Structure 1
């Protein structure tokens, strides 16, 4: 059996790991991961490394919980995974996320961001090809979808879900 050819573009959609509850006087952007989220981020990083899935570039929301999630990935990948904090990922929509990824001009980009945008972008890019029951309870914290494209995503271009990682499965 011949292995699948390398995709022209690979997009990783990562929802940040579980965050601590909001506290009075603490801005949302400053919320940290809770202990479960810290463990899930580390678990995810180890699974990605074990699968050999290291993106060329990481785009990260400025939210502290996103930066902490990405730090766990860097702990496994080291300097081979450059990270860029993109302010627009904190409050932007799916089109902002996709534009930021495509602007990198590289073959694989991981976006660490927020729901509902991560979920909306996955559904827009994979369409009806999502397996039934994939995530009936919503896109989980520290959930990761890896989408492969034969050509760069854009209007009318869908990809295929190559990997789905739920830290609790």
Structure 2
């Protein structure tokens, strides 16, 4: 049975209050709409995570909340301080410890984009994959039964919020 990993960068955040530390930055209105739209897109494809692992930063917490609103359901979520500005190695170690079948990971660049690139057998042909902008979402499938056994997986989808606007 295949394992599915959804790799999500947090949605658009702002620097509206320069006195806030980076960890406390919040989403912009656009970011909130984008996160919800990604949730709707995932739900329409029955890509509802069994578990969400997220950085504990304010902007990732808000991204997860708005994405869950778009999914139309609450998903078990763990907010991990270790995912705040984590390296790709730290993120991969976190993934490999999991036991669910469909996992969503929400974190920050450059780590989150590097993980998407490292775990995709072939990168998607999308002009924005390499810079992994806010709310970029990659869906990967691994032909293994345990996360500890993953190498690279098939890229089923990659999108940015602009792709959802018609």
TM-score by length of 2: 0.88
Gap regions ≥5 residues in structure 2? none
3-state SS of paired residue (2:5): strand
Report the Cα distance in structure 2 between the residues aligned to 1:136 and 1:30, rounded to whole angstroms: 26
Please, which of 105, 112, 117 is the counterpart of residue 118 of structure 1?
Answer: 112
Q: Note the C-alpha offset of 1:77.
A: 3.9
CA root-mean-square deviation: 1.9
Aligned residue runs from structure 1 range 140-155, under 5 A: 140-151=133-144, 152=146
Gap regions ≥5 residues in structure 1? 1-5
Report the Cα distance in structure 2 between the residues aligned to 1:137 and 1:36, rounded to whole angstroms: 22
3-state SS of paired residue (1:37): helix
Report the Cα distance in structure 2 between the residues aligned to 1:140 and 1:59, rounded to whole angstroms: 19
Q: Note the C-alpha offset of 1:24.
A: 2.8
3-state SS of paired residue (1:162): strand
> Which of the pair has more CA radius of gyration?
1
Report the Cα distance in structure 2 between the residues aligned to 1:28 and 1:108, rounded to whole angstroms: 30
CA contact (8 A) 1:125 1:153 kept: no
Please, which of 19, 23, 42 is the counterpart of residue 25 of structure 1?
Answer: 19
Aligned residue runs from structure 1 range 1-169, under 5 A: 6-7=1-2, 9-21=3-15, 23-75=17-69, 76-79=71-74, 81-127=75-121, 129-135=122-128, 138-151=131-144, 152=146, 157-169=151-163
* 1:56 to 1:118, Cα distance in 2 relative to 1, 3 A: same
CA contact (8 A) 2:96 2:149 kept: no
3-state SS of paired residue (2:36): helix
Q: Note the C-alpha offset of 1:101.
A: 2.0
* 1:68 to 1:133, Cα distance in 2 relative to 1, 3 A: same
